[in-house]
Amino acid sequence: MESIRILGVRVDDVTMDETLAMVSEMVAQGGAHQIATVNPEFVIRAGRDPVFAGVLERADLAIPDGQGLLWAARVLGTPLRARVAGSDMVPLLAERSAREGYSLFLLGAAPGVADIAAERLRERYPGTQIVGTHPGSPRPEDDDLSVALITQARPDVLLVAYGAPAQDLWIARNQVRLHVPVAIGVGGSLDFIAGVQRRAPLWMREHGLEWLYRLIRQPSRWRRMLALPLFAWRVVKVRLQS
C-alpha cells in the first residue's frame, strides 16, 4: 500500500474496493485494527492536536475521505487515485456483511438514529448482520457502558459516529478492551443513512462541492469549516516553497 503525506498527515492511496477487501482481511485476521476517514478538517486539527495526530499516525488504514485531499495531493505532486468517502463505505460494508457474514455494531449519533440506520440497512441489504446499536457518548465516563454492550454483542466491525476527533480518540482509548477486529470512525454517515441529514446531490459531490452543501444545510458548521480555506492556503504555501 502506498501512502503519501499531506501537511504531515499520512493518507493511504487506496480505492473503495481495496478498502473493502482490507476490511474483510482484517476481520479474518482478528486482532484490533483502526481505520480513520481523513479529510482536510482532520489535517488541520492534527496540526494543533498531537494526541489526535498520534492516533491518525498509528491507524492501520487512513483513507482519503474528502475531495480536498485529492486536490491537495495533486498540487503537492503525489496524486491519490480515488476518494473513499466514509459515507459511501458504510452501506457497502453492510452489503458485504450480508454477503460475507461479518457483523456490524453501530455506535453513536443522536439517540434513535443508529436504530433507524440499522433498519434501513437491513431493508436494503437483506441478511446484513447488525448485532447492536447504541448512541452512548464520546465522554470517557460513558465508555464502560458502551464497551460492555459492544463486547457482549461481539461484532466484527464497529462503526463509531461521534465526528472527528472524538470518534477516533474513542476508538484509540477503548480498542484494547473491545476485542473487535475493525473499528472505523464514520462521522455523520449514520445521519445520512437514517435520513436525518441529506447527502449532497451527486453533481455537487462530483464537483468537489460536498463541503458547500453541508455548509448551506448546517450553517452552524461555519466555524469548523474555516479549516478548509486554511488547509488550501497551507497546501499552496508548501507547494510554493518546494
Please name the helix (run of DSSP H) or strand (run of DSSP E) that holds residue 124, with its range, or none: helix 113-124
Q: Count of residues binding ligand UDP (CB under 6 A)?
A: 13
Binding test (CB under 6 A) with ligand UDP, winner from 161, 184, 200, 235: 161
Largest CA distance in the chain: 53
Q: Which stretch binds ligand UDP (CB under 6 A): 16-24, 43-51, 71-79, 107-115?
A: 107-115
By rule CB under 6 A, what string of x and - marks binding of each residue 134-153 to ligand UDP? ---xx---------------
- Closest of 36, 37, 40, 38 to residue 71, by C-alpha: 40
Triad 102, 89, 182: Cα angle to 5°? 45
- Closest of 26, 190, 226, 224 to residue 108, by C-alpha: 190
Q: Closer to ligand UDP at the Cβ: 22 or 161? A: 161
List the grid coordinates of 153.
Answer: 454483542
List the grid coordinates of 165.
Answer: 476527533
Does 187 contact ligand UDP by CB under 6 A?
yes
Q: How far is the CB of 55 from ligand UDP (least distance, A)?
A: 14
Q: Closer to ligand UDP at the Cβ: 31 or 112? A: 112
Q: In the complex, which residues of this chain contact ligand UDP (CB under 6 A)?
A: 108-110, 137-138, 161-164, 187-188, 190-191
